Amino acid sequence: MNTSRAIKFLGVALVALALIALPALAVTSSQEAQHHGGSLITWALGIGLVGAVTVTYKFPVSGTTPPTAIQASQVPTITGLVTWLESDTTGLFTHNFGLATTTGAAGSQPSLASFFPEVIITPILNSGTVFPNVQIDYASSTGNQLVFAKGSIAGTGGTLLFTVRKPHSIGL
């Protein structure tokens, strides 16, 4: 009797885990999804379904609240410390630059499609032994937020400094 309960509990737990992970797998990059605020992965991150990554902004604001669009329009660079555990695989960095999601005529407008904004990642504190392989998911990002991912490899927990620069900025 205890074995059948254990198997039933394990089955329910696996189904629940699959349902929680489902939004992370549903990456869309269609014009319709971008028009309505980005992809499902951005939505899932925004309501906390995926990832437990913490961003502590350092410039032009200080704290966990990202700069507003007005604050972001006044500076060429946004910086923040991104902290995660080994098990975290996806995070969200809000810059509020208001970038276009598609390139203008003949590539004339900097946009996510042209791999902007520029992102510089600097190690600050690594609680493990392995530098995480961080990738920016431009297809799932929006004009105001970057979606980034890392592998959940042992030793990759820690803190990185993200320096996000507006297109064609001189930088700080």
- What residue spans define the domains of the chain? 50-165
- pLDDT winner (highest mean) among 46-55, 95-104, 143-152: 143-152
Between CA 8 and CA 14 the distance in angstroms is 10
Is it the case that residue 17 has pLDDT exceeding 80? no
The pLDDT assigned to 69 comes to 96
Look up residue 21 and give its two tokens. Answer: 């992970």
The pLDDT assigned to 39 comes to 42
pTM exceeds 0.95 for this model: no
Between CA 101 and CA 113 the distance in angstroms is 6
Is it the case that residue 12 has pLDDT exceeding 90? no
Is it the case that residue 34 has pLDDT exceeding 80? no
63: DSSP letter: B
